[in-house]
Structure 1
Amino acid sequence: MRRGIIQRGERTVATTAQTVRRKRRYTEEDLKRLPRDGYKYELVNGRIRQVPTGGRHGELGAGLTARLWNHVRRWAKVYDSSTGFRMNSGNIRSPDVSVLRKERLEGGKSPEDFIDGAPDLAVEIVSPSERPAEIYAKLGEYFESGAQEVWLIFPERKQVHRYTPSLQVQVLNENEVLTTPLLPDFELPLRELFEGV
């Protein structure tokens, strides 16, 4: 018998005799009702998707979150992957790390609910199991919803791809330093980011 797991637009309903699957479009309310079980979920085109993450993924995200928070905390908020952003399409995306200027938040405070629009900076740590089409769909949605930059981190290659809204990309390798006009004076030697992972 399986417990109410939601995956790929199907709802699994446990009964004593059998497991029944039914297709339906899920909503923000369905996403909010999911248990806080340590998994990352997104609402994409009416389907709730569990996004796989692992230890290395979490370590990279935590390290980058700390570096960004130390740099921007006076004028921006930094969020981890448990924060949902409501895209213009209605999808709810949860970047692995995100930065949002406080001036975009009512009273400079984070809402209890999902945040409208994309963060100013969205960071996705790309796992080997993610398909390129999925990655670039997220990239497009972030920019369509107001992102100023998107960073794709490829741990396997030890690279960061820094995208701007015009879809220009800067590819940075492990021996380079990540800087951006979006975050004045921010410098991240990528060797430090990838150290030990």
Structure 2
Amino acid sequence: MEENINLDNLDLDRSYTVEEFELISKKLKFSSIEIKGQPVNLFELDKSGKLVPMPPTVISMEAVACEIARQLANWNVWTRQNGIVTSSQGGYDFNVGGSVTIRAPDVAFLTRNVYNDLTQEQRDSFQGDPFSPIFAVEVSDLSDRSVFQNLDDKIKYEYFAPESSVKRVWLVDPKNKQIHLYRRGMNRYLWEWRNIDGGEVLPDFVLDVSEIDEIIEDLESESSASSSSQGTERLNGSEMSVSAEGSATSSSSTSSSSDSPESFDCPICDETFDDYYYFMRHFENEHVRLKRRRRRRVRN
């Protein structure tokens, strides 16, 4: 079969088997192709077995998707959901109309119970029984009406297909600051650009959109403009104050010390920290994940 798959001569009008789809996906790990002037290194598979090209995402949209995945993953650990968070590299068979339909949401969440029940074939290929996440996110600039229409149809008719397990979907447009909320059996709702919760599907999870704002806003140019107006230059951690005559005097910067916390203790054990990152890493590994590992050893 491998000899019959030529990445430079793929026929997007023909139907491909799941085995052929998997082979194409493996080959694209080491190379990319160009379709209609756009580089492509990922395909989805629609219910007719036809390849759906997925060009690389621009960095601003990918950064937002990663931020949503980060917040979701933190919630997953801190609330001990122990589920699986996937990115656009993780494909699911939504089994639309009983046909193999492989889609890869920008962000998705699969419960631990479902993941534990998967066979090795399901985990390692698309050839086992179909399964899908309970929550999905798509991130895109929806300024083009056709882009919105395509994603809206994808969500309504594929993610919410009767055979799918998806209960909630967010369509996030960071450029125009919109979030479209989809819930199974309910009409689409246009959410204001504000924090949004996961409802009963993701209990206690709240997406903080201010973190997304920091990504999409041009903070660097604002900072540069602010620095220029103050007539200062920063060099190697020191602040150079520029006088009207053009001479410069140096004073030590205190920003790094002011950002550092005083020493503090872990509320559960006797460890002491003076850095938030190391405290969070300690707390997660020793007081969140450790309990999970102990429970797993008991079960085994």
Name the TM-score class by shorter chain. Answer: 0.7 to 0.9
Cα drift, residue 141 of structure 1: 1.0
Deviates more, 1:63-72 or 1:118-127: 118-127
Counterparts of residues 1-197 of structure 1 (less than 5 Å): 4-5=7-8, 9-10=11-12, 23-34=13-24, 35-36=28-29, 37=31, 39-44=41-46, 45-52=48-55, 53-73=57-77, 74-75=80-81, 76-89=83-96, 90-107=100-117, 111-114=123-126, 116-128=130-142, 131-139=147-155, 140-144=157-161, 145-174=164-193, 176-181=194-199, 182-197=201-216
Equivalent residues of 1:28, 1:92 under 8 A apart: no
Give the TM-score normalised by structure 2: 0.54
Change in Cα spacing, 1:132 to 1:188, as seen in structure 2 (3 Å) is closer
Equivalent residues of 2:89, 2:104 under 8 A apart: yes
The whole-number CA distance in structure 2 between the counterparts of 1:142 and 1:152 is 12
What RMSD, in angstroms, separates the aligned Cα atoms of the two structures?
Answer: 2.5
Give the TM-score normalised by structure 1: 0.80
Amino acid at match of 2:71: R
Equivalent residues of 2:137, 2:172 under 8 A apart: yes
Equivalent residues of 2:141, 2:176 under 8 A apart: no
Cα drift, residue 107 of structure 1: 4.6
Amino acid at match of 1:30: E
Q: Which runs of 5+ in 1 are unaligned?
A: 11-22
The whole-number CA distance in structure 1 between the counterparts of 2:51 and 2:149 is 17
Q: Which runs of 5+ in 2 are unaligned?
A: 1-5, 33-40, 217-300
Which has the larger share of strand?
1
Which has the larger share of helix?
2
Cα deviation, 1:173-194, whole Å, max 9, x if unaligned, reads: 33x1111222111122212223
Equivalent residues of 2:139, 2:172 under 8 A apart: yes
Identity of aligned residues (%): 26
The whole-number CA distance in structure 1 between the counterparts of 2:170 and 2:42 is 18
The whole-number CA distance in structure 1 between the counterparts of 2:182 and 2:51 is 26
Equivalent residues of 2:63, 2:215 under 8 A apart: no
Equivalent residues of 2:91, 2:103 under 8 A apart: yes
Cα drift, residue 27 of structure 1: 2.1
Amino acid at match of 1:195: E
The whole-number CA distance in structure 2 between the counterparts of 1:27 and 1:137 is 24
Number of equivalences: 181
Q: Which runs of 4+ in 1 moved over 6 A?
A: none
Amino acid at match of 2:172: I
Amino acid at match of 1:178: I
The whole-number CA distance in structure 1 between the counterparts of 2:8 and 2:135 is 31
Change in Cα spacing, 1:108 to 1:77, as seen in structure 2 (3 Å) is farther
